[in-house]
Amino acid sequence: MPSEISKELFEHLVELAALGLKPEEAEYLHNELNKQLNVIEELASISLDDSISAASHGVPYSASIRPPLREDQIIPSGISTEILDQTPETEAGYIVVPKIPHETLE
Amino acid sequence: MELCDLPAHELAARIRNREVSAVEALDSALARVRAVDGDPGRLEGFREDGDRVHAFITLTEERARARAISIDEKIGKGEDNGPLVGVPFTAKDIFTVKGVLATAASRILSNFVAPYTATPIQRLEAAGAVMLGKVNLDEFTYGSSNESSAYQPAPRNPWDTSRVPGGSSGGSAAAVAAGEGAFSLGTDTSGSIRQPAAFCGVVGLKPTYGRVSRYGLIAFGSSLDCPGPLARNVRDAALMMNAIAGADPRDATAAAVPVPDYTADLEKGVKGLRIGLSPDYGQLTFFNHDTGQLDARPLPKEISEAVARAADLFSNLGAEIVENVSMPHTRYGIPTYFVISRVEASSNLHRYDGVKYGYRTQEKVANLRELYRKTRAEGFGPQPKLRILMGMYVSAAQYAEQYYQRALRVRSLIRSDFDAAFDPNGKHRLDALLTATTPTTAFPMGQLYGDSVLMQYADQLTVTANHAGVPAISIPAGLSSERLPIGIQFIGPDFSEAKLFQISRAYEEATETESWRAEKPKVLATV
């Protein structure tokens, strides 16, 4: 039985992702997600024995090609002004944000 | 022939010999941009001209002119300026260049001026190349047609401007095909260099993962992304690789493997090489929503014939053609990609929040959470939103085992197909696998856009190399009856780029006098 992302789960994901969606946009995205999920379901049919491990990269990073570890070095970037210039709002070198809501964790 | 139509290696030689100046080369490329490109992409109020290429987002004319003048001065003093001296090029707008906008074709980065330069760009400029500007792409590279760019009009295919250039490096491929720069720096996460190269009739290489540094590349799928060259001929792509490949103290995944001279073996031919053909790359396997079953469809005749013709040609040149190489996990490439790339994309996209840099909502907000929500809702287009949501779903604690962990293990299976095919002591002992690059030629604009599943299947023949990490190149192999380019692909073992260039060059040389080689993209008919 193919899985489906329910409306409730979809809304939960949207909230977690901090996305506000317009209704028609939500409908399109929800529909596309379920179409993609149909394709992904094929993975469930592949037999995988225990000898097959997860690959974090296709290329195995053997010791011979891995960049060697080195001592930490301090290299001043000299670009802190350029970086802060990208910030929508700053005050005395600090980034200004709106009030941070406090939530009580259960 | 205009200077902008010359191969990069010829142009550099003429500049080095002072036959032409770097400024003249730049002016020629800029004249071509003005003649064929139309208005650059923008967020609002764009003007579309259906006969133009629309490859650019940002033209960096002043910066380029300053560099060209300085190169000419140095040449005047007899100083060596590198193998790509004075050659104009473009960069996909997913790389950072200090002081230049880096938009990723997204509203959320529409005001981001990069404070540092990406390693591959810095290395191309150190080799003497002159960046003309930044070219369009699918938003954050998420697509295979360029239609998802927030910067419209989207690029069009120079061979037929009613069709897409492919993607996501579509602006790169279109610009190179139209003579707007001799080459372009692109990225390939599932085929984003090779598919547009095939659609636009140019050469495109996805290097081995880790061969080229990702420093300064705005990330999509961090375990899959590969910067690489798009060029009009094999030698130029090899020269680009000479410049950009190699270890980088700023990217721990840039492999510590010595960089050979990629031009050294170009003319060695294919005698004695073993080139494989696999039936698993001769068909398109896809999930049919109507029947709920897997369907397999053969590739269009003109495309499979281009592959067969190439095999015959190599056989005549003394290569050994190995048929029936089994690559049984090929068809899992797309479902696996739907999981891995989405998880990595959603993780990479969390940083865009309207706080530190980039776009911030102009609406009044009550608190930080609302700032995030409004900024991301307004700043991201539908394709980034889809990837964020899918990535969060398949990596959620209760589903990760079923989807993400499983996909990482299937990636090992896909890799094992290549390990077996290339094993020097194995049954096939291949130097390279020969396949088609794409299951279709360039499709009309508007045909697939919106259907995120069908669009993804445009990458079915290319995505396996990203999963396996191995290098793969697409080269032009003729024109269809509709006069659209067809690409063929060679996939080789880790770090075998030099061999892939050697094979590609043998094909290029053997077909040099074929009539299709003389045909040019339609947009060039009027220049």
- Mark yes or no for CB contact B247/A67 under 8 Å: yes
Lowest mean pLDDT across A5-9, A79-83, B86-90, B339-343: A79-83
Q: What residues of chain B lie within 8 A of the CB of A64, using their CB?
A: 256
- CB-based contact, B369 to chain A, within 8 Å: yes
State how far the Cα of B87 lies from the Cα of B130, in Å rounded to an integer: 6
Q: Extract the tokens encoding B234.
A: 């094999």
Q: Extract the tokens encoding B449.
A: 């856009």
- CB-based contact, B389 to chain A, within 8 Å: yes
In sequence order, which residues have a C-beta less than 8 Å from that of residue B71 and are 6 or more positions away? B15, B22, B81, B85, B86, B128, B130
Side chain identity at residue B380, one-letter code:
F
Alpha helices in B322-367 (DSSP H): 333-349
Q: What is the pLDDT of residues B71-105, one digit of tens each?
A: 999 999 999 789 999 999 999 999 999 999 999 99
State how far the Cα of B388 lies from the Cα of B175, in Å rounded to an integer: 30
Backbone angles phi, psi at B160, to 5 degrees: -165, 105
Under a CB-based contact definition with an 8 Å cutoff, are residues B92 and B169 in contact? yes
Under a CB-based contact definition with an 8 Å cutoff, are residues B392 and A16 in contact? yes
Q: What residues of chain B lie within 8 A of the CB of A71, using their CB?
A: none
Q: What is the DSSP letter of B56?
A: E
Q: Extract the tokens encoding B507.
A: 């094909």
State how far the Cα of B151 lies from the Cα of A13, in Å rounded to an integer: 27
Count the Cβ atoms, other than its own, within 10 Å of residue A3: 15
**Residue A1 confidence class, pLDDT cut points 50, 70, 90:** very low
Run of H or E including B456: helix B452-457
Q: What is the pLDDT of residues B202-248, one digit of tens each?
A: 999 999 999 999 999 999 999 999 999 999 999 999 999 999 999 99
User: Quick one: three-class SS letters along B117-138?
Assistant: CCHHHHHHHHCCCEEEEEECCC
* Ranges assigned E (strand) in B248-363: 274-276, 283-288, 293-298, 320-322
Percent of chain B scoring above 90 in pLDDT: 94
Q: What pLDDT, on a 0 to 100 scale, did the predictor assign at position A45?
A: 86
State how far the Cα of B473 lies from the Cα of B504, in Å rounded to an integer: 8
Run of H or E including B245: none
Run of H or E including B449: none
Under a CB-based contact definition with an 8 Å cutoff, are residues B399 and B382 in contact? no
State how far the Cα of B416 lies from the Cα of B457, in Å rounded to an integer: 22
- CB-based contact, B448 to chain A, within 8 Å: no
**Residue B462 confidence class, pLDDT cut points 50, 70, 90:** very high
Q: Extract the tokens encoding A36.
A: 């993609």
Compute the average pLDDT of residues B300-319: 98
**Residue B44 confidence class, pLDDT cut points 50, 70, 90:** very high
What is the average pLDDT score of chain A? Answer: 90
Under a CB-based contact definition with an 8 Å cutoff, are residues B389 and A33 in contact? yes
State how far the Cα of B458 lies from the Cα of B382, in Å rounded to an integer: 19
Q: How far is CA A66 from the centre of its chain?
A: 26
Q: What residues of chain A lie within 8 A of the CB of B335, using their CB?
A: 39-43
Lowest mean pLDDT across A39-53, B197-211, B372-386, B507-521: A39-53
- Mark yes or no for CB contact B255/A65 under 8 Å: yes
- Mark yes or no for CB contact A52/B332 under 8 Å: no
Q: What pLDDT, on a 0 to 100 scale, did the predictor assign at position A104?
A: 77
Q: What is the DSSP letter of B224?
A: T
Query: At which residue do the structure tokens 């596309």 appear?
Result: A32
Compute the average pLDDT of residues B478-504: 98
Under a CB-based contact definition with an 8 Å cutoff, are residues B164 and B170 in contact? yes
- CB-based contact, A55 to chain B, within 8 Å: yes
Count the Cβ atoms, other than its own, within 10 Å of residue A71: 4
CA-nearest residue to A54 within chain B is B409
State how far the Cα of B355 lies from the Cα of B361, in Å rounded to an integer: 10
- Mark yes or no for CB contact B412/A52 under 8 Å: yes
Catalytic positions of B: 92, 168, 192
State how far the Cα of B16 lies from the Cα of B76, in Å rounded to an integer: 10
Lowest mean pLDDT across A26-40, B56-70, B177-191, B445-459: B445-459
How many Cα neighbours within 13 Å face the side chain of B515? 2
Q: What pLDDT, on a 0 to 100 scale, did the predictor assign at position A106?
A: 67
- Mark yes or no for CB contact A36/B453 under 8 Å: yes
In sequence order, which residues have a C-beta less than 8 Å from that of residue B416 and are 6 or more positions away? B329
The alpha-carbon gap from B75 to the nearest alpha carbon of chain A, in Å, equals 31
CB proximity under 8 Å: B 142-181 to A = none
Q: Which residues does residue B184 pair with via DSSP β-bridges, in sequence order?
A: B90, B230
**Helix count and strand count (H, E) for chain B:** 15, 13
* Ranges assigned E (strand) in B166-244: 183-188, 203-206, 226-231
CA-nearest residue to A51 within chain B is B409
- CB-based contact, A47 to chain B, within 8 Å: no
State how far the Cα of A49 lies from the Cα of A28, in Å rounded to an integer: 37
Residues A51, A53, A57, CA angle at the centre, nearest 5°?
150
Q: pTM above the 0.90 mark?
A: yes
Q: What pLDDT, on a 0 to 100 scale, did the predictor assign at position B286?
A: 75
Rg (CA), chain B: 22
Query: At which residue do the structure tokens 């060039």 appear?
Result: B524
Helix (H, G, I), strand (E, B) or coil at B139: helix
Distances in Å between the Cα of B425 and the Cα atoms of A97, B102, B419 are 61, 47, 11
CA-nearest residue to B100 within chain A is A82
Query: At which residue do the structure tokens 């469809």 appear?
Result: B297
Query: At which residue do the structure tokens 């999963």 appear?
Result: B467
Q: Which of A19, A88, A100 has the CB atom closest to B388's CB atom?
A: A19
Report cis status (omega within 30 of 0) of the bond before B347: no
**Residue A2 confidence class, pLDDT cut points 50, 70, 90:** low
Q: Which of A18, A59, A87 has the CB atom closest to B208's CB atom?
A: A59
- CB-based contact, B409 to chain A, within 8 Å: yes
By the 10 Å C-beta count (0-12 exposed, 13-18 middle, 19+ buried), B158 is classed as buried
Q: What is the pLDDT of residues B151-169, one digit of tens each?
A: 999 999 999 999 999 999 9
Q: What is the pLDDT of residues B276-294, one digit of tens each?
A: 999 999 988 876 767 767 7
State how far the Cα of B276 lies from the Cα of B268, in Å rounded to an integer: 19
- Mark yes or no for CB contact B452/A5 under 8 Å: no
Of the candidates B58, B60, B54, B59, which has an alpha carbon nearest to the alpha carbon of residue B37? B54
DSSP string, A52-99: ----SSSS---TTTSPPP----------HHHHHHTSS-EETTEE--PP
In sequence order, which residues have a C-beta less than 8 Å from that of residue B23 and are 6 or more positions away? B65, B68, B69, B72
Compute the average pLDDT of residues B479-507: 98
Q: How far is CA B148 from the centre of its chain?
A: 16
Sign of the CA dihedral running B191, B192, B194, B197: positive
State how far the Cα of B74 lies from the Cα of B497, in Å rounded to an integer: 33
Residue B115, pLDDT above cutoff 60: yes
DSSP string, B81-98: --TTTT-EEEEETTB--T
Side chain identity at residue B242, one-letter code:
N
Q: What residues of chain A lie within 8 A of the CB of B365, using their CB?
A: 98
